Amino acid sequence: MAHKKRVAIFISGRGSNMEQLVKASENNDYPAQIVGIISDKSEAKGLKFAKEKNIEHIVISPKDFPNKQETDRAISEQLKKWKIDIICLAGYMRLLSDDFCDQWQGKIINIHPSLLPKYKGLNTHQRALDAGEIEHGCTVHFVTKEMDDGPIIGQVIVPIMAGDDADILEKRILKAEHKLYPWALEQVASGKIRFY
Ligand code: GRF
C-alpha cells in the first residue's frame, strides 16, 4: 500500500483506546502506523503496553518544564523527530497550548466520551444520567483551540438503560469507542475525511 501515515498517540492513563489503534494498525491494509506514544505521566498504565509492543514511548511531563509553551515545544520537537503526520489524543488529560494547536492544526484528533457538542469536559456519563438522557455516546473530532469543539469525524450513539449508573454506562461506551477510534483514524489517514 502507499505510504502509511505516521501517527503518535498521546495518553495519560489506562490507554485502552491506544491499544485498539495499535491493534488496527497491525493490519497491512490499514493506512496508518503507530510510530510513538507520548505520556504526560510516568505512571500511565498504557506505557506498559507500548513497551510490550516495542513501540517507542516517552514521558514528557509538564513538571519538567517552566511553562506550558516550553512543554509543548518539547512535544513538537519529538513529533518532528518521529516525522509525525497525525496525532491521536487518547485519554490525554492535558490541554495543549494555542500555539501547539495552530502548528498541528488539522492533524490532531481526539476521542471524547459524549455526543458532542453535548457534555464537553469531564464526568460526561454522570452528567448525561443526571440530565435524564435516553441516549449518550462518543465522538472523534479534530482538535482546535477550544476544548472538545473541533469538527466531528464520527460518533456512535449508545442507549442509556434503566438502572444504569456511570460505571455501567462508561463500560458500554468504551466498547463503542474502541470501534469508533480505529475507524476514524482510518478515515483521516486515508484522506477520506479532512479538516477544512
Ligand atoms: C476515554 O473514555 C476517552 O473517551 C476519554 O478518556 C478515556 C480514556 O480511556 N478521552 P483509555 O485511556 O483510552 O482507556
pLDDT computed for residue 9 by the predictor: 99
Residue the block writes with cell 456511570: 166
Residues designated catalytic: 112
pLDDT, tens only, 81-110: 999 999 999 999 999 999 999 999 999 999
Domains of the chain: 5-189 (3.40.50.170)
Q: What is the pLDDT of residues 30-65, one digit of tens each?
A: 999 999 999 999 999 999 999 999 999 999 999 999
pLDDT of residue 196: 87
% of the chain residues with pLDDT over 90: 98
| Mean pLDDT within 183-187 | 99
91 C-beta closer than 6 A to ligand 1 = yes
Closest-CA residue, ligand 1 atom 14, reads 16
Closest CA to 23 of 181, 132, 170: 181
- Predicted TM-score (pTM) of the model is 0.97
CA–CA separation, 27 and 32 (whole Å): 9
- Mean pLDDT score of the chain, rounded to an integer? 97
User: With 70 as the cut, is the pLDDT of residue 20 above it?
Assistant: yes
CA end-to-end distance (rounded Å), the chain:
26
C-alpha cell at 88: 491521536
| Distance (Å) from CA 91 to ligand 1 centroid | 4
Looking from the CA of 66 toward its CB, the CA atoms found within 13 Å total: 1
Burial of 46 (0-12, 13-18, 19+ CB in 10 A): buried
With 90 as the cut, is the pLDDT of residue 79 above it? yes
> How far apart, in whole angstroms, are the C-alpha atoms of residue 58 and residue 47?
9
Q: Predicted confidence band at 169 (pLDDT cuts at 50, 70, 90)?
A: very high
Q: Which of 14, 17, 40, 119 to mutate to test the pocket of ligand 1 (most atoms within 8 A of CB)?
A: 17
Q: pLDDT class for 1, splitting at 50, 70, 90?
A: low
User: Does a cis peptide bond (omega within 30 degrees of 0) precede residue 159?
Assistant: no
Q: Whose CA is nearest to atom 1 of ligand 1?
A: 91
Residue 22 Cβ contacting ligand 1 at under 6 Å:
no
